[in-house]
Structure 1
Amino acid sequence: MSETVKLIGCFGSTAVHRAEVALRLKGVPFELVVEDLTNKSDLLLTHNPIYKTVPVLLHGDRPAVCESLIIVEYVDEAFDGPLILPSDPLDRAAARFWARFLDDKCWKAMWVALWTAPGETQAAWAREAKENMTLLESQLPEGKKFFGGDAIGFLDIAVGGIAHLLGVFEEIAGVRLLAEEDHPALCRWAREYLSDETVRQCVPDRDSVMVALAARKELYVSIAKTMAAQK
């Protein structure tokens, strides 16, 4: 398809990273429109009036596609190129399940563990986060580099934020969640993921990310308090 493709995103977002990796894996030329989420543009509000957040994919004159994993699936189906989702229906279902597990369970526990003050509550969330990562790690095929096998696939893209941003969050928060001694396979996967040529194009300079995310620390602490209260 030759229609113009735009991705509305922002700097340092794991969700935007997913959409960008999918587009680059498919070889889709696109324009990245960087959004300031503290002063949301009419473009964003028009195309995502429900959640008013990024990423948003604009493909020609079609209605906008919102939500990162939905965008990844749309890109896989709408454009030619290597498959992102597995070809087998059962494998596709499993990839979707574990991606949802990551978003619903893993990130919540990691987030609260990172941004909660030290103590029993923080320790409990850290244990849950590590247990969840152990479950996620068990999905790595033995002898393969990625969750998708020998090539990056849907679940790799979903988990990609652990590879390129969790370490930054850990450094800012002063909390260690992902360690070689506890999760060697997941750490190996993270190195393989970040060394991929396509992924490297979607990972910004670490120092720049550190500065940008450190400035949001108070916001992250506030979000963690809200998330913890909802358990």
Structure 2
Amino acid sequence: MTTDLDRATVEEAYARWAPIYDVVFGAVFEPGRKAALRAAERIGGRILEFGVGTGVALPNYKRSDRLVGVDISEPMLRKARERVEKEALTHVEGLCLMDGAHMGFADNSFDVVMAQFVITVVPHPEETLDEMARVLKPGGEIILVNHLGAEDGPRAVFERWFARRARKLGWRPEFQFARLHNWAVQNGSVDLPIKRDVALGMYTLVRFRKRTQAEIAAMSESVALAG
């Protein structure tokens, strides 16, 4: 059974992770980050780094990009701000404390919304994805990279068993790709997700392209005619 995380649990967990996050997860997540960055750089422009954490990925973006980072954890953001100042990351427009399900940006604000190892740990994934789609420009992409839960087999059994214990760490190990696919169908403003394995199957890169208003209107017309 899937149990969603609550905001207090996530904030408490990542306040504990903040001092050691880069040491524990920096190298482990690096292959996934590189794959996600390559996907984002093919689009470029104004990029929202959702769940920016300690800002470990910020120095790796091209200086021609414009970056805004958001996170739910103030201790993690403090680390990111220190990094921006220390490394003179002038392409970073701002770092904001925000709940992903209620972001304070205007519609169609970003060319890319990037979320690295985040979507499976936010309190409300579908509401957060709705917000990502809202602030994304038509034709832009939501790019996710994450470990996703197995669909079946021994790993799926283990992940379901481990799920309740993992909540205290701020993790949701049983989160599957099907949940992302179902969100895209329900939301209706994005194409169905494209996925590929990275880092020898350790992680999954998932991309959603936001449809233009003309595309949405044409699809609605097609559905009406078929009905």
Structure having the higher strand fraction is: 2
Structure having the higher helix fraction is: 1
For the criterion TM > 0.5, the same-fold answer is no
TM-score (norm 1): 0.31
